[in-house]
Amino acid sequence: MNIFIGFIVVVWILTPAGYYSNLWDAETYPIASYQIFSVDGYIYNVTNVLDSHSHLNVTAYSIYGE
């Protein structure tokens, strides 16, 4: 019963309250998504920071942004 009540409090009360009150700029991002986002809320294009072997290109990463 404790786990069920904790689940209800966190998932159905605290998460929506934090999201819709824009806690930590939460409304910049969707609640659930499989995509990666930049700090300003746009979809992050991962291919811009990878080389031809799908390894991280640190130079391109520093240019494109974190």
Q: Where are the beta strands (DSSP E) in the chain?
A: none
**19/41 same-domain check:** no
**18/44 same-domain check:** no
Write the single-letter amino acid at 39: V
pLDDT at 65 over 80: no
Residue-number span of the structural domain to which 2 is assigned = 1-27
pTM more than 0.85: no
Give pLDDT, residue 57: 93
As a whole number of angstroms, the distance between CA 19 and CA 42 comes to 17
**23/52 same-domain check:** no
Handedness of CA 25, 27, 30, 32 (dihedral sign): positive
**40/63 same-domain check:** yes
DSSP-derived secondary structure letter, 46: G
**21/37 same-domain check:** no
Greatest CA separation found in the chain?
A: 52
Q: What is the mean pLDDT of residues 51-63?
A: 92
pLDDT band at 10 (very low <50, low <70, confident <90, very high): very high
36-56 tens-digit pLDDT: 998 888 999 999 999 999 999
